């Protein structure tokens, strides 16, 4: 449910930054504590603001718990995210939400899952990973295919061993091997043949740059995965997050309220990719 201190969806509520955990160059995780527990789902987002700087949509990077904490993983892109990057523990940040539909978990119930992420696109999938770890019987084999430009740009690197220990298969590749990297190199879409799942029966959740999403969706479809089980989350410029401002209108859909999570079937039939 959407939380607002005043009943007005445009009025944000405050949270305190508990800790800032650097992840990669220009990417940090901000753990924010709010007064009351927040009820949010993987794939949803908050409108995050700072007085005098502005407001931007940021996906939840953690699973909703009773401890009134939400993790936000933010890449410094411009004015607002730049101001957010100046936050330190104890500072106040403002939130509206959660907004958006979130990932459909029933689509993967009883099936193998392939999570495909590029760069900071791993952040919105992290709550899904946490969810599959906490509910091990819900899906079959869960595999994360993750690609970053270079080893220094891998996010949540410190957590990957724990994910492996808790049953998630994690395959990482980088575009450029640097700093003694001995792992895989190449695009994340070059990892299909390493999968031990039957793609025709599995479900995919994808997040990353649009060029990667396009390639991953198309290739998974050609490999036999049905369109409705190829699921992604899309980005668009948005001001309100609640379907009023019209900035994120794409085809006949609003990314903010109808999405940001869509199946390949919806992406294709509504023409939702922004760079057409």
Closer of 177 and 236 to ligand FAD (Cβ): 236
Q: Say how far apart CA 106 and CA 271 lie, in whole Å.
A: 25
Window of 102-110, 117-125, 142-150, 224-232 that interacts with ligand FAD by CB under 6 A: 117-125
The only residue of 112, 117, 260, 272 in contact with ligand FAD, by rule CB under 6 A: 260
For the sheet with 92-99, list strands across it: 54-59, 45-50, 92-99, 13-24, 27-34, 69-75
Closer of 120 and 231 to ligand FAD (Cβ): 120
Dig out the tokens for 211 from the structure.
């060029």
Element (H, E) at 185: strand 184-185
The only residue of 23, 49, 59, 197 in contact with ligand FAD, by rule CB under 6 A: 59
- Within 182-211, the residues that bind ligand FAD by CB under 6 A are none
Total residues binding ligand FAD (CB under 6 A): 23
Pairing of strands 168-174, 142-148: parallel
Q: Does 93 sit near ligand FAD (CB under 6 A)?
A: no
Alpha-carbon torsion angle 166, 232, 229, 271, nearest 10: 180
Q: Say how far apart CA 167 and CA 142 lie, in whole Å.
A: 8
CA atoms within 13 Å, Cβ hemisphere of 58: 30
Q: Does 21 sit near ligand FAD (CB under 6 A)?
A: no
Closer of 100 and 147 to ligand FAD (Cβ): 100
Closer of 114 and 155 to ligand FAD (Cβ): 155
How long, in residues, is the chain? 276
Closer of 122 and 191 to ligand FAD (Cβ): 122
The only residue of 20, 236, 242, 245 in contact with ligand FAD, by rule CB under 6 A: 236
CB 141 within 8 A of CB 197: yes
CA-closest candidate to residue 15, choices 91, 83, 99: 91
CB 82 within 8 A of CB 112: no
Q: Does 47 sit near ligand FAD (CB under 6 A)?
A: no
Window of 10-18, 116-124, 159-167, 173-181 that interacts with ligand FAD by CB under 6 A: 116-124
Which residues are 173's β-sheet partners?
147, 184
Q: Does 73 sit near ligand FAD (CB under 6 A)?
A: yes
Q: Does 96 sit near ligand FAD (CB under 6 A)?
A: no
Contact residues: ligand FAD, CB under 6 A: 45, 54, 56-59, 73-75, 77-82, 120, 123-124, 235-238, 260
């Amino acid at each position: 449910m959407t939380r607002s201190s005043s009943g007005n969806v445009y009025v944000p509520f405050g949270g305190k930054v508990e800790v800032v955990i650097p992840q990669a160059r220009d990417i940090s995780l901000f753990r924010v504590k709010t007064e009351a527990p927040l009820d949010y789902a993987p794939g949803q987002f908050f409108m995050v603001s700072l007085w005098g700087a502005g407001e931007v949509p940021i996906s939840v990077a953690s699973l909703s718990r009773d401890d009134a904490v939400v993790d936000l993983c933010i890449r410094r892109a411009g004015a607002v995210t730049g101001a957010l990057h100046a936050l330190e523990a104890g500072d106040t940040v403002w939130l509206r939400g959660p907004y958006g539909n979130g990932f459909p978990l029933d689509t993967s119930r009883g099936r193998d899952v392939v999570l495909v992420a590029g760069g900071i696109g791993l952040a919105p999938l992290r709550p899904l990973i946490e969810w599959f770890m906490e509910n091990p019987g819900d899906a079959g084999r869960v595999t994360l295919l993750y690609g970053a430009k270079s080893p220094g740009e891998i996010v949540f690197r410190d957590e990957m061993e724990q994910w492996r220990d808790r049953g998630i298969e994690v395959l990482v590749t980088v575009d450029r091997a640097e700093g003694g990297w001995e792992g895989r190199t190449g695009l994340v879409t070059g990892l299909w043949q390493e999968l031990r799942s039957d793609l025709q029966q599995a479900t995919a959740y994808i997040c990353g740059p649009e060029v990667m999403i396009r390639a991953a969706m198309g290739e998974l479809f050609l490999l036999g995965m049905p369109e409705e089980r190829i699921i992604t989350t899309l980005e668009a410029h948005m001001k309100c997050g609640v379907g009023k401002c019209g900035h994120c209108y794409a085809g006949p859909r609003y990314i903010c309220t109808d999405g940001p999570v869509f199946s390949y079937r919806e992406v294709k039939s509504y023409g939702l990719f922004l760079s057409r």
